[in-house]
A and B are shown apart, each in its own frame.
Chain A
Amino acid sequence: MSDLKQTLKEQIIEQLNLEDLTPADIKDDAPLFGEGLGLDSIDALEFIVLLEQNYGIKIADPSEGKDIFQSVNSLAAYIEKNK
């Protein structure tokens, strides 16, 4: 699971062009949107692409996104459950 979280952080940085961040800057339980990394709705779309391209997971119900994309912890848990 910790390997998955590390990989996820690297993929997030690359996909979202978070040039100034390293994986160590992203805490597992920190909110990704809003006051956390300050991501926005376009980033949410990028997350959907990231999950599909890297893990073959399609989010059938977009309303689930809010919970799935809450933090690296929630993303990793969703991937573990659905891959």
Chain B
Amino acid sequence: MYYIHTISSITNQDSFRNEDVYASLREFDKEIDVVAPDYKEFIPRNSLRRLSPILRMGLTCAMECKNFLDKNFDAIVVGTALGCLKDTEKFLNTFITSTSDFLSPTAFIQSTHNTIGGQISLGLNNHAYNMTHTQNSLSFEVSMIDAFLCIKDGKKNVLVGAAEEKIDFLEKVQPSLIPNGYPLASGASFFAISGEKSKNKIGIQAVATNFNSINLENEIAQFLAKENCEMVDLILTSGDVVKNTTSKIESINYLKITGLHYSSSAFATHIAHDFLKNNDAETALIVNNLCKGKLGLILVKKG
């Protein structure tokens, strides 16, 4: 079991510094991007001016996790499928349209996927293991697996999370990427995890990924059997509502809440945590089948 000690999410929902995200969930609001705090309270002004939305979200969530944990992280693991899209777009547009010999360096420097992890490292003055995973819709799940390996390897406190940002251009290409019709979103969720029991004793029991998923229901059943989990209290899924004979309550399609981005299962994990924390329930399962043939399963448990 890998216990969750702190969580911080900036999303379309009112999730930042919210002790019960599950209870305050509402339908996705197309009119807003994210409900963000005043970033100036977290990030020095001179650094903030250069940071794109995904970097602001990621760094603020990481700082929030660090503030509540009051310990240094022994590893920082970040998942992002599409990375720093705004800076990538800015750099490429300048590259195409500029007539001068020089290009603005900032957007280029900050266009790489690992800028999020790098900025967290700089912001926290933390030079520990720092890894970024880009595995399409399973980037968060793969990051979680890496975080678990870090703990197995002897690292105590690991910061793990995921972040994505939307740009207008994505609206044009979305139908050919993920044609499910959900509104595009931005968001970041970060978790401080360790092998030591947390105050509320909620953690991740297991994460599984399958990049060649064929039979969703069989694979879920096999995963739960392997984890000796007979009863699931809540299922959060990114696709069609999963038929669940063992669940006491209906599955929730979290894309209706988080909006569509490749790492929305990270926020679903936050929702599952708060559900278990504030309700008489033991187990929650996140089923991420956002992309055809790719399945991520996260089992969140109390105990």
Binding site for B on A (CB under 8 A): 15-20, 38, 40, 42, 45-46, 48-49, 52-53, 58
Contacts and interface: CB of A to CB of B under 8 A. Distances in A.
B298 to A, nearest CB: 37
Chain B interface extent, by class: 10 to 19
Nearest to A37: B46
A15 B50 CA distance: 10
20 contacts: A15-B104, A16-B49, A18-B49, A19-B49, A20-B45, A38-B46, A40-B46, A42-B50, A42-B105, A42-B109, A45-B105, A46-B104, A48-B102, A49-B100, A49-B103, A49-B105, A52-B101, A53-B98, A53-B100, A53-B102
B1 to A, nearest CB: 43
A7 B102 CA distance: 21
Interface in B83-112: 98, 100-106, 109
Contacts of A53: 98, 100, 102
Contacts of A46: 104-106
Contacts of B106: 42, 46
Interface string B101-127: 111111001000000000000000000
Contacts of A17: 49-50
Contacts of A19: 49
B257 to A, nearest CB: 31
